[in-house]
Structure 1
Amino acid sequence: MQQTTKPIQKEEAEAKGGFKREITLFDAIMIVTGGMIGSGIFIVTADISRAVISPANMLLVWVISGFLTMVGAVSYGELSSMFPNVGGQYVYLKEAYNKMVAFLYGWTLFLVIQTGVIAAVGVAFAKFTGVLIPWFSDANVLLQIGSFSFSTEQLLAITSIIFLTYNNSRGVKSGKLIQNIFGSTKLIALFGLILFGLLFGVNDMAVEANFSDFWGASGSPTSVPVGLALVSAIGMAMVGALFSADSWNNIGFSGDEIVNPKRTIVLSMVIGSAIVMGVYLLINLVYLLVLPMHGTAEATTVLGQGITAAANDRVATAVAEVVGGYQATVAIALLIMVSTFGCNNGAILSGARVYYAIAKDGLFFERMGRLNKHGVPAFGLWLQCAWACMLCLSGTYGNLLDYVVFAVMLFYILTIIGVFILRVKRPDLPRPYKTFGYPVLPALYVLLSSGICLILLIDKPWYTWPGLIIVALGIPVYYLAAHKFSKVK
């Protein structure tokens, strides 16, 4: 016990001499909400609707996603109050299990999860910029060498990633300023969209189609799945909803930069998650009030296409067109630009703190464990930037993200189980906050999330096995890293 506590105290003391505690509760909430709201909420509802068929089941997917997110947040709160250190989930896994399990999380985070999200969100930002400035397009190729092409869309995505990395390398104050501005702007705009849709966008045809047969097929050419088929459909549909709500835990990565972290981290996760999931539910309700759930791709109007056949799955854009025409569509494009830009800022700010913690454990380049004169892990920021830009160039980030869906959920489950393990393994450690509803709520989280993983394992093996392979490849890398970087500590 004593050997485990001393390194934590040592790291905490070192961090206090370098990291600057400048993230307040408001800043932390903006990091949580800004990191969660990217482009997913504007598009994933189409795919969810195709999977579960009925309007009621579509909303049920978002309710379950909200429940899991909130339970995850209150469960992580206990861990963050025990270990309010830079690295967040990496530290929790290390303390509950061992360094190898924690490294596998950090390895997957760097290789695909965080960098893949940064690349994907950067490209989403560029795509919606292209709605306003058509020059930015994947069809506008600047360079072609064999099968490799470099477009203006990729150029803007990479430029935005580099700019945000540079800004964050100048200190946490610079990073949180952008997060506060863009985070609050997108929340205000989203509430405006909800209010505008409820006041002016309600469509009688959509209301009749969606709510007269709320649990039924609602105009779909296929019937609503029942029994195990329905459970499977909901499980697969959960992927889009959960990943639209992901990154609520990223605030824990910055533990040593947070004012009063034992209180602030858990409060920001719970408050931020509650705000976002409430907004998501209201937005999906607006979708159902404005557009019929089912339509056909051959239809010439957005009402005819409905939610399931919305062009490029851009449900929010279709809703905007119905409510306010071209001007509203432009407003939505601006909103998504703000949303994705702020989302990427939060992802870039948070990720490098995990690599810092890994380096401090002697499992990554020693320079990753250093802070620059502004008190941030700049080398980790720029290495993360370089790999994310490479993923933008490769065009494979979308596939990589699909592959690690299972792995990400697996690490969430392991971390929540860690609450139970540490209650037994480290009962002596102070717990300023204890998990609400323990042991029932965290056990329910583990049960439901494990069920979703099992469904994916059976019904979407092409998603699960590549993710497991990526995690497994980290095992030999761990031993190589432990040998190569063994000088630390």
Structure 2
Amino acid sequence: MSEQKEHFKPTLGLFDATMIVAGGMIGSGIFIVSADITRNVGSAGWLVLVWLITGFMTITAAVSYGELSAMFPKAGGQYVYLKEAYNKLIAFLFGWSFFSVIQTATIAAVGVAFSKFTAYLIPSVGESNIIADLGFIKISAAQLLAIAMIVLLTWSNTRGVKGGKIIQTTFTMTKLISLFGLIIFGFLLTKQSFWTENWSTGFNAMQVAKDAAGAFDPGNWSPISGGVLIGAVAAAMVGSIFSSDSWNNVTFIAGEIKNPKRNIGLSLFFGTSIVTIIYITANLMYLHVLPLHSAANPTQSIAFAENDRVAVTAANVIFGNAGTYVIAIMIMISTFGCNNGLILAGARVYYTMAKDGLFFKKVGELNKNAVPEYALWIQCAVASLLCLSGKYGDLLTMVSFIVVIFYILTIIGIFILRKKMPDAERPYKAFGYPVLPAVYIILALLFCCGLVWASPTYSLWGLGITLLGIPLYYIAVGSSKKED
């Protein structure tokens, strides 16, 4: 057996932590989800407002987490905050949801996105190349490539946090520069601007209708307002929230960050702010380069871009035929770096759960490189199985619903801990407390209610998976007591 290290090594500085925040947030979403948002709300004003609301919620939550990260600078992050504010059961429900759906399904989805866009350059690794047909499941080359990528990054992270840091910093810087470049070239090189035409829609919310076969009808839009509008905005925000998620990954690796009481809070603010600016300006660029929706040529519009690949359609306008390859390479870089951050951070939650006797004992051990190797490999196994399931696309609503529920509970935890631990050291306090955290909670609750109204099936499935953790918690507690 390899020599065990008792503690994590604090080797990550503020810049490294900021790259983990930004790198974990930027995957493939910004290149794709604006199509679905436009189909739900139908106007330039509402498209941008959805991203602005999401950005405000993300930054508000991030700076609120700064207080918690300074109070509890330990590996496990959000899991630890929930345990301190509530109890082990609530923390376990988060950890269970994180393991079964949130982190592992996100790793799988990002891995398959990497494969899909690699297929632009190497067609043989596409989804149409079926490697094995087992009757109940078909395994494609794209799925195998996604698994290979996840295994490679998992192995790399078992070698120590320094290797993961280098990969994260390199790939995050590359995709930030690439995205800024795409936005600038979009405004400078496009010959025909749709800016005025698109903004003529203002804030007149509309929703596209479907034909008898259930397909979108580009020429049939209906105005929406009231409760229907709230539901449509919630449905639209599934994509923007999913694209802006994983900013909290840096809190999970607090044990490996230098001066975590200062650097985690700052990295959360800097990382979420940078990504929010990129996301909003990218959508402004889309509004300049492409029409919102066009009945005459729908696949050249934001709402009906082929396979929702808005960035590919925009890049083809900007760069010509080479645009497809430009975006393919950008998304490959983006998703590779994103998954490295997700894999690196996620395992620390399971490690902390194991230390509390709520997960497999081996998961709570560090290898000779001072990283939780068993936690990394068990995460890898579940994510790989989800790659094979082919159902990760259906998990988008479920993941967003669960994620926001736990964000709400965590931010309520700030109010609880102010009363529960009034004299605790707080090197950093939540910005705008109590107003901004309260505003976040209200907006997030409206989002969750709207999502249940618009997509009850997957929202309630998400809640069901979370609640399944209750009997599992008591089984885990019982097993832990027997071992003691």
| Pairwise TM-score range, normalised by the shorter structure | over 0.9
Alpha-carbon distance in structure 2 between the residues aligned to 1:481 and 1:20: 29
What whole-Å deviation, never above 9, does each CA across 1:313-353 have from its counterpart, x for those lacking one? 00000000111112122111100000000000000000000
Structure 2 equivalent of residue 7 of structure 1: none
Asked if 1 retains the 8 angstrom alpha-carbon contact of 2:46 and 2:205, the reply is no
Normalised by the length of structure 2, the TM-score is: 0.94
Asked if 2 retains the 8 angstrom alpha-carbon contact of 1:355 and 1:380, the reply is yes
Structure 2 equivalent of residue 390 of structure 1: 385
Structure 2 equivalent of residue 212 of structure 1: 200
Matched, 1:62 2:25: no
Alpha-carbon distance in structure 2 between the residues aligned to 1:328 and 1:222: 30
Q: Which residue of the other structure, out of 400, 410, 414, is the alignment partner of 1:419?
A: 414
Asked if 1 retains the 8 angstrom alpha-carbon contact of 2:104 and 2:379, the reply is yes
What whole-Å deviation, never above 9, does each CA across 1:135-187 have from its counterpart, x for those lacking one? 01111111111132211111110000000000000000011110000000000
Offset at residue 256 of structure 1 (A): 0.5
Specify the code of the residue in structure 1 equivalent to 2:448. Answer: C
Segment of structure 1 superposing worse, 377-386 or 215-224: 215-224
Matched, 1:191 2:180: yes
Asked if 1 retains the 8 angstrom alpha-carbon contact of 2:293 and 2:304, the reply is yes
Structure 2 equivalent of residue 6 of structure 1: none
Specify the code of the residue in structure 1 equivalent to 2:285. Answer: V
Structure 2 equivalent of residue 276 of structure 1: 275
Specify the code of the residue in structure 1 equivalent to 2:266. Answer: L
Where does structure 1 differ by over 4 angstroms across 4 or more consecutive aligned residues? Answer: 217-220
Asked if 1 retains the 8 angstrom alpha-carbon contact of 2:43 and 2:205, the reply is yes
Q: Secondary structure at the match of 2:221?
A: coil
Alpha-carbon distance in structure 2 between the residues aligned to 1:222 and 1:274: 34
Structure 1 equivalent of residue 15 of structure 2: 26
Task: Quickly say closer, same or farther: Cα 1:447–1:488, change in 2 above 3 A.
Answer: farther
Matched, 1:340 2:335: yes
Asked if 1 retains the 8 angstrom alpha-carbon contact of 2:130 and 2:139, the reply is yes
Q: Which residue of the other structure, out of 459, 468, 474, is the alignment partner of 2:463?
A: 468
Q: Secondary structure at the match of 1:135?
A: helix
Q: Which residue of the other structure, out of 88, 97, 102, is the alignment partner of 1:108?
A: 97
Specify the code of the residue in structure 2 equivalent to 1:288. Answer: L
Offset at residue 487 of structure 1 (A): 6.4
Structure 1 equivalent of residue 404 of structure 2: 409
What whole-Å deviation, never above 9, does each CA across 1:9-44 have from its counterpart, x for those lacking one? xxxxxx994211011111101100000000011110
Asked if 2 retains the 8 angstrom alpha-carbon contact of 1:404 and 1:468, the reply is no
Asked if 2 retains the 8 angstrom alpha-carbon contact of 1:24 and 1:259, the reply is yes
What whole-Å deviation, never above 9, does each CA across 1:56-105 have from its counterpart, x for those lacking one? 01100000000000100111010000001000000000000000000000
Normalised by the length of structure 1, the TM-score is: 0.93
Offset at residue 485 of structure 1 (A): 2.4
In the alignment, structure 1 segments of 5+ residues that lack a partner are 1-14
Asked if 1 retains the 8 angstrom alpha-carbon contact of 2:110 and 2:335, the reply is yes
Alpha-carbon distance in structure 1 between the residues aligned to 2:13 and 2:197: 46
Asked if 1 retains the 8 angstrom alpha-carbon contact of 2:6 and 2:366, the reply is no
Structure 2 equivalent of residue 117 of structure 1: 106
Structure 1 equivalent of residue 344 of structure 2: 349
Q: Secondary structure at the match of 1:143?
A: strand
Q: Secondary structure at the match of 2:201?
A: coil
Offset at residue 275 of structure 1 (A): 0.1
Specify the code of the residue in structure 2 equivalent to 1:150. Answer: I
Alpha-carbon distance in structure 1 between the residues aligned to 2:408 and 2:200: 38
Structure 2 equivalent of residue 85 of structure 1: 74
Alpha-carbon distance in structure 2 between the residues aligned to 1:160 and 1:17: 29
Structure 2 equivalent of residue 263 of structure 1: 262
Percent identity between the two aligned chains:
56
Q: Number of residues paired by the alignment?
A: 470
Q: What value does the CA root-mean-square deviation take over the aligned residues?
A: 1.7
Segment of structure 1 superposing worse, 83-92 or 447-456: 447-456
Specify the code of the residue in structure 2 equivalent to 1:484. Answer: S
Task: Quickly say closer, same or farther: Cα 1:142–1:450, change in 2 above 3 A.
Answer: same
Alpha-carbon distance in structure 1 between the residues aligned to 2:362 and 2:167: 26
Structure 1 equivalent of residue 213 of structure 2: none
Alpha-carbon distance in structure 2 between the residues aligned to 1:141 and 1:185: 32
Asked if 2 retains the 8 angstrom alpha-carbon contact of 1:112 and 1:401, the reply is no
Alpha-carbon distance in structure 2 between the residues aligned to 1:142 and 1:108: 31
